[in-house]
């Protein structure tokens, strides 16, 4: 700025005097997008305002310069031994050296002490939206610059956590992409690690109407009973000793509700019972449900149960370890 008068850099950026660096940075980003020459072609007033906010950010984002500015006012640059005049704090921008706005803004933030390449929800853009992936109406920067433009990536990604039940039945989610609410339908039968593509719901390139795709990376939470192995839905079914020995029909729970299964007489623990068409949804229809029989012993036996077990032991017709003892001889 000209050294002939004092300009309030805080007022230029629209921030309080106690504003921290992050607040200053956010204000600068907003104003830089508003007054950038590519957004206001041929507008000399906007171009001057753009340089003014850039100059204000240069001073207020640098702790040393800001301290001198707050202490000495319009004479801050002379106090720092930098010499007077507009060039001490001004910002001369050669727009022709940049291929897109992202290149310019990241270089400017880097020169002024801010982290370059900051990213937000969308890929290759500003946090919260605005010029994602770079690019402006008119194809580049003004003043006849012959710059090579980098490929623009307008795609966006989001990580979405859903419950096991939502994955089984399908669900809906409302996401915010560049300040726009996007309603997403997640189909039934998705699996952990699935990736969904929503065409035309990604980042928007101002001035061109181009829009990328939105990719959803799905994480499915574990379930306390059900587990998915490949295309098969599995669970352990607790059974008692008498149910394994004598067999019978027992009530079970499936994802569709209660059902009945028959346990054959003399079934060993670890055997799986198959329920066709009761498993995980897929493109070819429902898969099968496998219930693995798990022997569950009571924490304590009643006196009557102990008497019956003793009778069972006394009347046992076969030693369960007979073949094992014969085969285990070395």
pLDDT value at 45 more than 50: yes
pLDDT value at 294 more than 70: yes
Reported as a pLDDT band with limits 50, 70 and 90, residue 107 is low
Q: pLDDT by residue (tens digit) across 223-236?
A: 999 999 888 899 99
pLDDT at 108: 54
Distance CA(244)–CA(21), nearest Å, equals 71
Contacts (Cβ under 8 Å, ≥6 apart) of 272 = 234, 290, 291, 292, 293
What average pLDDT does the segment 12-40 reach?
Answer: 87
Q: Which residue has the higher pLDDT, 196 or 146?
A: 196
Reported as a pLDDT band with limits 50, 70 and 90, residue 112 is very low
Indicate left, alpha or beta for 209 from its phi (over 0: left) and psi (-120 to 50: alpha). left
What average pLDDT does the segment 281-307 reach?
Answer: 91
Q: Which residue has the higher pLDDT, 167 or 146?
A: 167
Rg from Cα positions in the chain: 35
Contacts (Cβ under 8 Å, ≥6 apart) of 255 = 168, 226, 233, 278, 289
What percentage of the chain exceeds 90 in pLDDT?
29
pLDDT value at 117 more than 80: no
Domains of the chain: 9-93 (1.10.287.110), 156-220 (2.60.260.20), 227-327 (2.60.260.20)
**Do 169 and 226 contact (CB within 8 A), yes or no?**
no
Q: Which residue has the higher pLDDT, 293 or 152?
A: 293
Q: Give me the chain's average pLDDT, please.
A: 77
Indicate left, alpha or beta for 42 from its phi (over 0: left) and psi (-120 to 50: alpha). left
Crossing angle (nearest 10°) for helices 21-35 and 101-111: 150
pLDDT value at 37 more than 60: yes
Nearest to 229 by CA among 165, 276, 293, 287: 287
What average pLDDT does the segment 259-267 reach?
Answer: 92
DSSP-H helix ranges across the chain: 9-13, 21-35, 44-60, 63-72, 76-79, 101-111, 164-169, 241-246, 303-314, 322-327
Lookup: tokens for 312: 């069972």
pLDDT at 82: 43
pLDDT at 110: 52
Q: pLDDT by residue (tens digit) across 173-229?
A: 888 776 778 888 999 999 999 999 988 888 877 777 788 888 999 999 999 999 998
Give the lowest-confidence range in 148-152, 222-226, 291-295. Answer: 148-152
pLDDT at 80: 53
pLDDT value at 139 more than 50: no
């Amino acid at each position: 700025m000209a050294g002939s008068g004092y300009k309030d850099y805080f007022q230029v950026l629209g921030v309080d005097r106690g504003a921290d660096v992050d607040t200053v940075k956010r204000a600068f980003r907003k104003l830089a997008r508003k007054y950038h020459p590519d957004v206001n072609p041929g507008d000399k007033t906007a171009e001057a305002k753009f340089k003014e906010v850039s100059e204000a950010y240069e001073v207020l984002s640098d702790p040393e310069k800001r301290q001198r500015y707050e202490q000495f006012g319009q004479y801050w640059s002379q106090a720092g031994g930098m010499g007077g005049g507009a060039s001490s704090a001004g910002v001369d921008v050669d727009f022709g050296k940049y291929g897109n706005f992202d290149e310019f803004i990241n270089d400017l933030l880097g020169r002024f002490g801010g982290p370059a390449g900051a990213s937000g929800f969308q890929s290759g853009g500003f946090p919260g939206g605005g010029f994602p992936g770079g690019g402006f109406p008119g194809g580049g920067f003004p003043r006849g610059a012959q710059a090579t433009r980098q490929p623009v990536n307008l795609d966006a990604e989001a990580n979405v956590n859903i419950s096991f039940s939502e994955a089984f039945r399908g669900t809906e989610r409302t996401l915010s992409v560049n300040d726009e609410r996007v309603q997403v339908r997640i189909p039934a039968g998705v699996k952990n690690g699935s990736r969904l593509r929503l065409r035309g719901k990604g980042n928007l390139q101002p001035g061109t109407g181009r829009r990328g795709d939105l990719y959803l990376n799905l994480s499915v939470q574990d379930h306390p009973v059900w587990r998915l192995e490949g295309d098969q839905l599995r669970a352990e079914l607790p059974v008692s000793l008498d149910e394994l020995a004598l067999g019978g029909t027992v009530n079970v729970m499936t994802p569709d509700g209660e059902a009945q299964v028959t346990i054959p007489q003399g079934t060993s623990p670890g055997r799986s019972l198959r329920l066709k068409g009761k498993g995980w949804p897929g493109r070819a229809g429902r898969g099968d449900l496998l219930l693995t029989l798990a022997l569950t012993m009571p924490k304590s036996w009643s006196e009557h149960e102990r008497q019956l077990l003793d009778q069972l032991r006394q009347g046992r017709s076969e030693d369960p370890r007979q073949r094992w003892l014969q085969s285990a001889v070395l």
